[in-house]
Structures are given as C-alpha cells and as structure tokens.
Amino acid sequence: MKASVRVAALAMAASALAGCMSTPPEEDPVQVKLNDLDARLIRIERVMQNQSLLEVSNQLEALRADVRGMHNDVDQMNNGMESLRRQQRDLYADLDQRMKALEARGGAAPGAAESPSAPGSAAGSQPPTETSVYQTAFGLLKDSQYDRAIQAFQQFLFNYPNSSLADNAQYWLGEAYYVNRSFPEAQSAFQKVVDKYPQSRKIPDALLKIGYCRYEMKLWEPAKAVLEQVVSKYPDAPAAKLAQERLDKMSTEKH
C-alpha cells in the first residue's frame, strides 16, 4: 500500500514539473518595450530613407526637364536664325533677279549709280530727264543705299506722277522699304501699285510682296489670302510659283 502511494506521489510531481516546463516564462516588460522601440525606429529610418530618395529623384527629374527646356530653346533659336538667313537669301535673290529682268528690258542703264544730284553732270548743264532721275533712283537701290533710294523714288513720283515709269517707281519704292524691313510702309507702297496702276505688269509682283509683308508682320490669314490670289489669278507668272512656295512654307510652319 505504501508503495502505491509513493508511486502516485511521484507521478503527480512529474506531471506538475512537466506542466511548469510547458508554460513559457513571462517576458520582461522592459525588453518588450525595447523591442518595440527598435521596430519603430527601423520603420522610421525606412520612411526617411524613402523620402530622401524621392526628393533626390524629384530633383533629378527637375534638372532633366530644365535641360530639355534649354535644348528646345536652343533648337528654336537655331531654327529662327536659319529661317531669317533663308529669308534674306530669298529676298536678295528675288531682288537681283527682278533688277536683271528690268535691265534686260532697258529700264535701267548699267552706269545709273550716281547720286540724285549727278544726273545732269553727264550732259553738262542740261536739266535731268525723268528717265535719268528714275535710273538714278534705281541705281541707288542696286547699290543698297535704301534710304536714299526711298527718297529718290518718292521725289520721282512727286515730280512725274503721270510718267510711263511711275508704276515701276512705285513698285521699287516698295522694294526699298521691304529690303529695309519697313514692312508696313512696303505693304502700303505695293498696294498703291495695285490701286493706282491696275494695268501694270507689276501687279502680280506687287501682290506677292504684299503677301510677303503680311507674312513678316505675322498676319497669317491675310497673307494666305493674297498669296492664294496670286496663284489663282496669275498662274503663269513667276510670282505665282513664289507665292505657292511661301504658302507651302506657311503650311509646314502650321500658320
């Protein structure tokens, strides 16, 4: 009997010991608090790191945008300069071609580059004729003395309003203004060719230059209207080809 009691007591003790071993010891609250603080600190560091990377990324993107903008500005400046150079080349080529054509028709003598006071010198004391005055003004234009050419053509038109050369003088007055980049004055001078000399052979050229002036003044729709008029009304004139070329250019430029 005593042996069985001893066995039972040993079994109970073993069971209690096993129960104690299976129950985890209570965690140290200080350690728990430290672990929590460590975890929070890690999370904060990660957030700060991500924010720093985001700021750096934003700054890099802003710099890239600035560089792209500078490249675009440079490209626009280069395109603008090239466009201006082309316009100048076209202008001088057109002016030279028209002057040669006029000379071929006998409109200007090869030696007509004297000053406005000089025409009478070749003929002694004889007064200048309307032809010599016209040739002098035309010679000034050929010599790129545009301001003096403007004055000379204006004086010719004032002195000889009914001359057979008046329409030509009015047209070349417009050309002098145009080469001088005085586009409003040039447009007005060319318009007078159309209004005052409706039978002049200069009408297609004057309309073309009105379109050019409006283009330079960025009056896109009025420029297109008059250039289209040249193409439709004077399809066989050299001015029609130039008008179509300018219309194509405006289309490419989205005007």
Q: How far is CA 235 from CA 16, 181, 226, 231, 242, in A?
A: 118, 28, 13, 5, 11
For 27-86, write each residue's pLDDT tens digit.
677 677 777 777 777 777 777 777 666 676 667 667 666 666 665 666 666 666 666 556
Spatial CA neighbour of 115 closest among 139, 131, 144: 139
The full set of domain ranges for the chain reads 35-105, 114-252
Whether the pTM exceeds 0.75: the reply is no
Contact (Cβ atoms closer than 8 angstroms) between residue 190 and residue 217: no
CB-count exposure of residue 135 (10 Å: 0-12, 13-18, 19+): buried
Spell out the residues 6+ positions from residue 145 whose beta carbon is closer than 8 angstroms to its own. Answer: none
For 203-254, write each residue's pLDDT tens digit.
999 999 999 999 999 999 999 999 999 999 999 999 999 999 999 999 998 8
Tokens of 31: 């350690």
Spatial CA neighbour of 173 closest among 157, 184, 159: 157
CATH topology of domain 114-252: 1.25.40
